[in-house]
Chain A
Amino acid sequence: MENIIEIKNADLHYNDFKALKNINMNIPKHEITALIGPSGCGKSTLLKSINRMNDLVEGCKIEGEFLLEGKNIYQDYDVNILRKEVGMVFQKPNPFPMSVYDNVAYGPRTHGIRKKKDLDDIVEDALNKAAIWEELKDRLKKSALGLSGGQQQRLCIARALAVKPKVLLMDEPTSALDPISTLKIEELAEELKKEYTIANVTHNMKQAARISDTTAFFLLGEMIECNQTTEIFSHPRNNKTEEYITGRFG
């Protein structure tokens, strides 16, 4: 199995605080990888490092290697190109205060696509892939801020997909959503992994067990265990993993 992302001996400091400790993990291509662990264990920090969202954070120092398709994320990529290849979806839906259409067209436009026909196609395609085209096709010119939370989140996924990334990082994408919207996003993830690779941070153990192929468990900045999801949830190797997923702490 091919690993689209490899992380080798990664350490991350926020000033004196070591938030990631010698992380070694791979993210397999066309799979969903779940990152789980108690609050503050460094899940978001790790996701952000893959996307270089920490570049502007004062006092943040990163050592070790982050590779995307074998190339060093910090040395071999221009950050704009990296962010085109690696999209990110956040916990709180954050649509731009503009129309549905402009939200989705935003990325492609910044990458130089101008022709209306091309943009129309991209917008329709991205909204389709995010399973929200039918709901929004008659409201493309309306403000994105008027959508429901679940719709906003799928719009944000569409916005991320519009630049045709290879990897989609999702940081608790469903934690602010109702069960139906959550289910839609989970089904969507299942569908999207055919074309994309997904890394999903979640506090929802059931969600991790339901949709991910691989699960990585983090604790206090360390990766404790990473294995096939069925293994982690039926027969974890590490006691700490067992204690966490069975709800004994965290």
Chain B
Amino acid sequence: MRELFIKQLEELNKSLHQMGILIQDAIHNAIEALKTMDKEKAKEIIDADSIIDHKEKEIESACLHLLLQQTPVAGDLRRVSSALKMVTDMERIGDHAADISEIVLILNKIEYQDILDCLMKMAETTTKMLDKCMNAYLSEDLKLADQVADMDDIVDNLFVEVKHAIANAVVMDKENGEQVLDLLMIAKYFERIGDHAENISEWVVFSITGVHKDERVI
């Protein structure tokens, strides 16, 4: 009984790990496409989103099978149920990377280096958050999971910074109004990605401790 279960859990870990890499790549590629105005790359990201969606379905199905066949309890139950919750946020992150790429398709060369710098930092921070989430889940490392919430504050601050830069740009330069709004959208997507990464970290904490956002959910 237990052996089959362990095998199924390992499969689940592997799939989650793969999905984690897919969404980190998606963010990384989206910011690269933005930086270089690489429309081909942007299209690839949009197409690749269906792979992430598919991975989500695959993991959901694996979790439901585990729940049905093994009726896991205790730490096992928490691992499977948090995986089920985590993939929802992971899938949304994939969507946002595609959303950002959609904007890249309609953008022209970016005139504002300061805004671009902020967006790059947002991409870098959110990617790191996800990396920590995945490692924390796989190695049951509570400290690592806890760090993610602090990093979301960095992302939120970067978003405020972008907003200021954009407000300035609007005042200084009335002609590029549309572009700055597109950049604001992109910043908002990164800010949302940060929120989703924080949600994921909260389920990682639940998986390890049984406590979700300071509350016992079961």
- Which residues of chain A have C-beta atoms less than 8 A from B71's C-beta? 206
**Pairwise interchain contact B76-A234, C-beta atoms closer than 8 A:** no
- Which residues of chain B have C-beta atoms less than 8 A from A205's C-beta? 73
In the complex with contacts A209-B73, A230-B218, A235-B210 CB distance below 8 A:
yes
- Which residues of chain B have C-beta atoms less than 8 A from A230's C-beta? 218
Q: Which residues of A in the span 193-250 have a Cβ within 8 Å of any Cβ on B?
A: 205-206, 209, 230, 232-236, 241-242, 245-248
**Pairwise interchain contact B73-A248, C-beta atoms closer than 8 A:** no
**A-B CB contacts (within 8 Å), total count:** 35
Interface status of B174 (Cβ within 8 A of chain A): no
- Which residues of chain B have C-beta atoms less than 8 A from A232's C-beta? 74
In the complex with contacts A230-B218, A234-B210, A235-B218, A245-B74 CB distance below 8 A:
yes
Closest Cβ of chain B: how far from A236's Cβ, in Å? 5
**Pairwise interchain contact A246-B75, C-beta atoms closer than 8 A:** yes
- Which residues of chain B have C-beta atoms less than 8 A from A242's C-beta? 74-75
How many residues of A are counted as interface, with CB atoms below 8 angstroms from the partner's CB atoms?
A: 15
- Which residues of chain B have C-beta atoms less than 8 A from A234's C-beta? 73-74, 77-78, 210, 218
Main secondary structure of the interface of A (DSSP, over half): helix
**Pairwise interchain contact A248-B210, C-beta atoms closer than 8 A:** no
- Which residues of chain B have C-beta atoms less than 8 A from A233's C-beta? 73-74, 77
Q: Which residues of B in the span 1-37 have a Cβ within 8 Å of any Cβ on A?
A: 1-2, 5
**Pairwise interchain contact A245-B218, C-beta atoms closer than 8 A:** no
Closest Cβ of chain A: how far from B122's Cβ, in Å? 36
A242 to B5, CA, bound (A): 15
- Which residues of chain B have C-beta atoms less than 8 A from A206's C-beta? 71
A247 to B71, CA, bound (A): 11
Q: Which of A236, A241, A248 is in CB contact (< 8 Å) with B2? A: A248
A246 to B71, CA, bound (A): 9
Closest Cβ of chain A: how far from B81's Cβ, in Å? 9
**Pairwise interchain contact B1-A247, C-beta atoms closer than 8 A:** yes
Closest Cβ of chain B: how far from A181's Cβ, in Å? 21
Closest Cβ of chain B: how far from A206's Cβ, in Å? 6
- Which residues of chain A have C-beta atoms less than 8 A from B216's C-beta? 235
Q: Which of A235, A241, A246, A248 is in CB contact (< 8 Å) with B72? A: A246
Chain B residue with Cβ nearest A241:
B74
Q: Which of B5, B78, B210 is in CB contact (< 8 Å) with A247? A: B5
**Pairwise interchain contact A246-B218, C-beta atoms closer than 8 A:** no
Q: Which of B75, B78, B210 has the most CB of A within 10 A?
A: B75
Flag B68-108 by CB within 8 Å of A: 1 or 0 each: 00011111111000000000000000000000000000000
- Which residues of chain A have C-beta atoms less than 8 A from B2's C-beta? 246-248
Chain B residue with Cβ nearest A243:
B74
Chain B residue with Cβ nearest A244:
B74
- Which residues of chain B have C-beta atoms less than 8 A from A246's C-beta? 2, 72-76
A234 to B79, CA, bound (A): 11
Flag B29-67 by CB within 8 Å of A: 1 or 0 each: 000000000000000000000000000000000000000
A233 to B5, CA, bound (A): 17
- Which residues of chain A have C-beta atoms less than 8 A from B72's C-beta? 246
A49 to B148, CA, bound (A): 53
**Pairwise interchain contact A236-B218, C-beta atoms closer than 8 A:** no
Query: 4 shortest A-B CB distances, which residue pairs?
Result: A235-B210, A234-B218, A233-B73, A242-B74
**What residues make up the interface of A, taking CB atoms closer than 8 Å to B?**
205-206, 209, 230, 232-236, 241-242, 245-248
19 further contact pairs, Cβ within 8 A, besides A236-B74, A246-B72, A247-B5: A205-B73, A206-B71, A230-B218, A233-B73, A233-B74, A234-B74, A234-B78, A234-B210, A235-B74, A235-B78, A235-B210, A241-B74, A242-B75, A245-B73, A246-B74, A246-B75, A246-B76, A247-B2, A248-B2
19 contacts between A and B (CB under 8 A): A206-B71, A232-B74, A233-B73, A233-B74, A233-B77, A234-B73, A234-B210, A235-B74, A235-B216, A235-B218, A236-B74, A241-B74, A242-B74, A246-B2, A246-B72, A246-B74, A246-B75, A247-B1, A247-B2
